[in-house]
Amino acid sequence: MGLFDTIRAVFGTSAEADATRDADPEDLFGMSTAYVTMEADLGFRSIDAAALCFSGVDSTDFEATVDDVEAILRAGEEETGTAFEVREDGHGWEWVVLRDDDPEDLVTSVHFAADEFVERGYGSRLLAAVFGFERESDGDRAYWIYSFRRGAYYPFAPERGKERNQQLEFKLESVLDGELTLEDDESYWYPMWPDRSGGHPWE
């Protein structure tokens, strides 16, 4: 099974078959307090960026939906200063990438974008929301990934050479358990590797 097939299995058909419930963007607000815990208890600060990953559909209605998402975020950008872009990565995934030095604005903007997809009938196309963190003391990175198909978060701590810092991932799980709805089946803790070395999952 190739990389893209594995991704599709985890976030797509297999996850859909094993879905715990429909996509609910309200779950994303749990990250609002998780940002505080990540910094206070673990020394990880927001990288001032987050992203929404979705699978596109070749239809004019879906294209119109993406246009509406951009319009909503553009209106929000004027109020909060949250910059955004819509891009496609090397795996064929599409992303709404958001940048803001206020974590609350990032959570709100990801929610707005996800909610518009759901309201337009494309909740099933939502794959994941990704929130990034970095520890100033050693430069380690960590991500919380929310799977819309599973209705739960899981940690992802990448290292160089496409290795995972599993010790850190389990530490994150332990500290945030009860604050976030966590995925208890580790087979769904899928690593979202970036296209380029040193990049973020959406790059």
Count, residues in the chain: 203
End-to-end CA distance of the chain: give it in Å, rounded.
23
For residue 17, the tally of other CB atoms under 10 A from its CB is: 9
Structure confidence by residue, pLDDT tens digits, 29-67 = 999 999 999 999 999 999 999 999 999 999 999 999 999
- C-alpha separations of 51 from 87, 95, 149, 198 in Å: 10, 6, 16, 17
Alpha carbon distance 172, 44 (integer Å): 10
Report yes or no on 194 lying in a domain: no
Report yes or no on 7 lying in a domain: yes
Alpha carbon distance 26, 44 (integer Å): 24
Rg (CA), the chain: 16
Report yes or no on 62 lying in a domain: yes
Structure confidence by residue, pLDDT tens digits, 154-192 = 999 999 878 999 999 999 999 999 999 999 999 999 999
Residue 158 carries which side chain, given as an amino acid letter?
Answer: P
Report yes or no on 199 lying in a domain: no
Tokens of 144: 């919380």
What's residue 6's pLDDT?
A: 46
CATH of the domain at 130: 3.30.70.1130
Report yes or no on 182 lying in a domain: yes
How many domains would you assign to the chain?
A: 1
Q: Strands, E, within the chain: which ranges?
A: 44-54, 83-88, 94-99, 126-135, 141-147, 152-156, 158-159, 163-164
What's residue 145's pLDDT?
A: 98
Report yes or no on 198 lying in a domain: no
In the predicted structure, residue 142 carries a pLDDT above the cut 70: yes
For residue 142, the tally of other CB atoms under 10 A from its CB is: 22
Alpha carbon distance 83, 187 (integer Å): 34
Structure confidence by residue, pLDDT tens digits, 65-76 = 999 999 999 998
Q: Per-residue confidence at 86, pLDDT binned at 50, 70, 90?
A: very high
Q: What are phi and psi of 136, to 5 degrees?
A: -65, -30
Alpha carbon distance 139, 18 (integer Å): 36
Domain enclosing residue 100, as ranges: 3-188
pTM for the whole structure: 0.89
